[in-house]
């Protein structure tokens, strides 16, 4: 049955709308891809004893999708295989039921788990090089990855070496008004909140706690200008690192999730793999 539009109090397509009863109705729901049981046989060639680790946060406007969906299961399996990396895929509480900063708190807690569990988790203990950790994400997940790195830097890094930050079609606001942000982050600093718009805070950008950053944008993405703005602001901030840009022509926002088999999706994945495998410089390690 279709919803009665007179009973909708807030509407944020393509993410969710809110009924007068408080019921949250999402436009897009995700499936659930459980972990493989039993696990796959050991890969051939085997995973190296000390391999980079990619700490990946999914996108979805802070309010949809999951680390357990087939969309991200497929993407990160491909990324792990091609980059010969170990991947920790971060799930987090979704807005609006869990307003911001819930997503940031959950991501940071997962990062601390990565460090705290490293002696006991066999995959991390046997294969992960915690001196080469890449924080990555797409869309809102890229925003969360950036903010997780900023907080980790401010709290000393707790022994993790942050080798790079990978931002795919990052969400850093859409301009002078952002209704979604105002709704899911009540009491925030508005559109210039440093979590939403770090480019308005040069000192924050200058203290980014890694040595390399890759920013991926798409020509027809409505967020393209914000990705380019992040790139320019980081270069001009006095940050002591190397920032790289990769743009895909003719494509919209997160096209690689919508059509993962297209040639441009393969090229984007290849560029991310090259970034992971081409550098080991670590700026922040405590």
CA pair distance 216, 268, nearest whole angstrom = 8
Query: What string of DSSP letters covers 6-38?
Result: GGEEEEETTTEEEETTS-EEES------PPPSS
Q: How far apart are the first and last CA of the chain?
A: 55
Question: How does strand 128-138 pair with strand 162-168?
Answer: parallel
State how far the alpha carbon of 264 is from the alpha carbons of 29, 152, 182, 250, 270, in Å: 25, 33, 34, 9, 10
Within the chain, residue ranges assigned H as helices are 70-83, 102-117, 122-127, 140-154, 179-184, 202-206, 224-236, 255-258, 263-278
Provide the annotated active-site residues. 139, 221, 253
Write down the residue that tokens 């969360």 correspond to: 144
SS3 86: strand
């Amino acid at each position: 049955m279709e919803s009665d539009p007179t009973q909708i109090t807030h509407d944020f397509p393509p993410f969710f709308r809110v009924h007068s009863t408080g019921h949250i109705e999402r436009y897009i729901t995700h499936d659930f891809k459980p972990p493989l049981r039993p696990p796959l046989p050991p890969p051939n060639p085997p995973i190296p004893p000390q391999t980079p680790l990619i700490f990946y946060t999914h996108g979805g406007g802070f309010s949809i999708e999951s680390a357990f969906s087939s969309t991200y299961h497929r993407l990160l399996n491909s990324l792990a295989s091609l980059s010969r990396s170990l991947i920790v895929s971060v799930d987090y509480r979704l807005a609006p039921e869990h307003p911001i900063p819930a997503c940031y708190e959950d991501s940071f807690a997962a990062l601390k788990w990565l460090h705290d569990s490293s002696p006991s988790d066999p995959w991390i203990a046997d294969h992960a090089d915690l001196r080469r950790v890449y924080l990555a994400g797409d869309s809102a997940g890229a925003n969360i990855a950036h903010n997780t790195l900023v907080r980790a830097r401010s709290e000393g890094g707790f022994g993790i070496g942050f080798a790079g930050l990978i931002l795919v079609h990052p969400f850093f606001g859409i301009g002078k008004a952002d209704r979604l942000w105002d709704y899911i982050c009540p009491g925030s600093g508005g559109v210039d909140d440093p979590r939403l718009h770090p480019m308005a805070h040069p000192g924050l950008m200058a203290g980014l706690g890694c040595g390399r950053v890759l920013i991926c944008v798409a020509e027809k993405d409505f967020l393209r200008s914000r990705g380019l703005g992040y790139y320019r602001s980081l270069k001009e901030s006095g940050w002591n690192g190397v920032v790289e840009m990769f743009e895909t022509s003719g494509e919209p926002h997160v096209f690689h999730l919508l059509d993962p088999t297209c040639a441009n999706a393969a090229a984007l994945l290849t560029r991310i793999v090259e970034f992971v495998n081409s550098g080991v410089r670590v700026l922040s390690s405590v």
